[in-house]
Amino acid sequence: MSWPWETVDWEDPQGGTIRFYPYIPTVVYPRELRPRNDWDALAFLHHPDEREVWQDDEDMEKSGKGSATMLAIHGGGDFSRMLIRMQLVDEIRAAKLPDPEPRRLLNLAMKSNQAIYFVEPGVDDEDWLNWSLGVVDEASKLSRMIGQLFARRKFRKIWKNVQTDVTEPSVKSAPEAYAICAGLAATYHRCSESMLNDELRDTRNKRLTSRLRGALADLIKQKKSGVLLVPIYQDWMPDILAMLKTEPEVEQIGAVA
């Protein structure tokens, strides 16, 4: 699969379309890369509490220029390493919080009175709680903890390897800058994913795709047809799309708005 710069559709056998919008986190996209307004509802691969996080970041940015981003940078870790390097990229707006594309789409859906779904289960969900505990157990393994001592070296190594995968988008201005940020975001995502084993990743992806199908089913029930737009990290989309193609069981969920 080529590097994803354009939307990708998955047609559900039970009706409707899940349209993936692959984006670079913390980067403001140009109009050429944004999806058209031909979708009926919006779904995020997040918990509903993410809305409060975005609002807090937005309030923090308004109260002090760049304060939310600087707080994230000072928090350290791979997300901080991504942001620091993005800040050095000229010609585009990058390393911005709240995450520009999801936040923009949320505001657009709210203004248009479109259904909005957050598909990540809460901690009151026993299966998801057990999965979360599995993540903690995996992260606390001695080998994982020792690996964190060399996190910077690991980030640089993965970033170097990612360069062969990333391509430049078809945009009029600064395609190379977007490609650089895409590589940094992919590096951050792969570092994060490396903290999970295959079973944890598959369990998470299967649950989220089951709930995506449930969100689409709920949309279809209301409109008889429809397109569900799903913003997703570029580097994560192939795994989620592959899981959807196995047609996981539909888990019914409702819209939050």
pLDDT at 70 over 60: yes
Residue 159 is predicted with a pLDDT of: 96
Residue 225 is predicted with a pLDDT of: 81
Q: Beta strand pairing status for 41-44 and 227-233?
A: parallel
The fraction of the chain above a pLDDT of 70, given in percent, is 96
Q: For residue 27, is it within any domain?
A: yes
Q: For residue 257, is it within any domain?
A: no
Per-residue pLDDT band for 176 (boundaries 50, 70, 90) equals very high
What average pLDDT does the chain have? 94
Q: How far apart are CA 126 and CA 134, in angstroms?
A: 12
Q: What is the average pLDDT across 51-62?
A: 92
Q: For residue 25, is it within any domain?
A: yes
Cα–chain-centroid distance for residue 217? 22
Q: For residue 254, is it within any domain?
A: no
| Count of residues in the chain | 257
Per-residue pLDDT band for 66 (boundaries 50, 70, 90) equals low
Q: For residue 253, is it within any domain?
A: no
Q: Yes or no: say if 6 and 217 are a contact pair by the CB < 8 Å rule.
A: no
Q: For residue 85, is it within any domain?
A: yes
Judged by DSSP in three states, 243 sits in helix
Question: Which domain covers residue 99, as residue numbers?
Answer: 8-244
Q: Yes or no: say if 22 and 8 are a contact pair by the CB < 8 Å rule.
A: yes
Q: What is the average pLDDT across 9-17?
A: 96
Q: Yes or no: say if 109 and 101 are a contact pair by the CB < 8 Å rule.
A: no
Q: For residue 2, is it within any domain?
A: no
- H-helix segments, the chain: 50-63, 67-74, 77-86, 100-111, 126-139, 142-147, 151-162, 175-193, 198-223, 237-244
Per-residue pLDDT band for 142 (boundaries 50, 70, 90) equals low
Residue 64 is predicted with a pLDDT of: 75
User: How far is the CA of 77 from the CAs of 155, 233, 234, in angstroms?
Assistant: 10, 18, 20
Q: Yes or no: say if 217 and 14 are a contact pair by the CB < 8 Å rule.
A: yes
Q: For residue 218, is it within any domain?
A: yes
DSSP string, 75-128: T-HHHHHHHHHHTT--SS--S-SS-HHHHHHHHHHHHTT-EEEE-SPPTTSHHH
The domain total for the chain is: 1
pLDDT at 207 over 60: yes
pLDDT at 20 over 70: yes
